[in-house]
Amino acid sequence: MDRTSHVRIGTRASALARTQTEWVAAQIRAWGFSVVTELVTTRGDVVVDVPIAGIAGGDGVFVRELERALLDGRIDAAVHSFKDLPTAETPGLSLACVPCRASPFDAFLGRSAPTLEELPAGAVVGTSSIRRVMQIRLLRPDLAVRSIRGNVDTRLGLLDKGQCDGLILAAAGLERLGLVDRITQILRPDGFWPAVAQGALVVQIRQDDARMRSVVAPLDDPETHAAVRAERACLAALAGGCLAPIAAWARSEGGVLGLGACVFEARGESVERIDSHGVSADAGEKPEDLGGRVAGELLRRGAAGMIARARLAGGATAGMGVHGRD
């Protein structure tokens, strides 16, 4: 394998994106390759004054420029937070490997109380995610929600300045940035469900690049890869993008892959939730088959209508005025 030429890895410029990419780069360097990182500005990074769902092409605004850089040959690989990727794969590109997953759960960062349950009525929770807003409304309809965007430091600054009483962020991002001490509560299923592929990274390459496929192959964690494949298959079968009010979590227990998924819909000031669970039927079943079966049950219970109504509402929670990605 040729180790004489540089491996060029593209990344967004945020601290979290660069930290994630540098971790991948460090593994590759340890195998004797020379690695350089290239900063790529995405549309989601530039347009910061409107909710993500309000940006044209909102599903994928944090990845499209990186994908173009790959297709143009400016970079050899791109490191993404897997939950940012649309379910439809881009022609000519390949999702080559999925490293071991960090925490898939959401984290609550409390200022006036340590847990979501202990917040006083009327307290303000900051989040940019429709999925999180739905679940806050389901669990604590007496709380207010403020839509916020920006990197982790920006959001923490708003919390520290008293602009909100608590934040909900992905635990994985806080872990990777060394900010675990800011977490006051981990939000876990069945009480609070994470986004599809949350906590997982993915390395994307050109489909015909055999060299890069070999370079990154040792990074792949089969258990994580299988879990994320099941989650994304469920999302795809529901015809939901990464902005849809859909949550899922797959994990292997005793060699058996299990998947739970939920769909949420705002009904005025209340929220309706439907959920479904499944496990691999046998050792030969593909993760995608499990995802399809769980999605099928959700569709039988009315998920299609819920998702369609959310889409007609422009990606906003009805009457709540909140948009965004995780």
Which residues are the active-site residues?
84
222-237 vs 287-300: helix crossing angle, rounded to 10: 30
- According to DSSP, the residues that pair with 250 across neighbouring strands are 259
Q: Residue 175's closest CA among 259, 100, 86? A: 100
* Apex 264 CA angle, 172 and 143, nearest 5: 75
Residue recorded with tokens 């491996």:
7
Task: State the DSSP code for 34.
Answer: -
Contact 104, 127 (CB under 8 A): no
Neighbouring CB atoms inside 10 A of 292's CB total 17
Q: Identity (one letter) of the amino acid at 107?
A: A
Alpha-helical runs (H) found in the chain: 15-30, 43-46, 64-71, 130-139, 152-160, 171-176, 210-216, 222-237, 287-300, 303-312
Q: Residue 18's closest CA among 252, 195, 176? A: 176
Instruction: Record the tokens describing residue 273, joined without a space.
Output: 């939730």
Q: Are strands 201-206 and 246-253 parallel, antiparallel or unpaired?
A: unpaired
Q: Identity (one letter) of the amino acid at 195?
A: A
Using DSSP, state whether 273 is helix, strand or coil: strand
Contact 128, 62 (CB under 8 A): no
Count Cβ atoms within 10 A of the Cβ of residue 304 and give its class: 0-12 exposed, 13-18 middle, 19 or more buried.
middle
Residue 141 Cα to chain centre, angstroms? 24
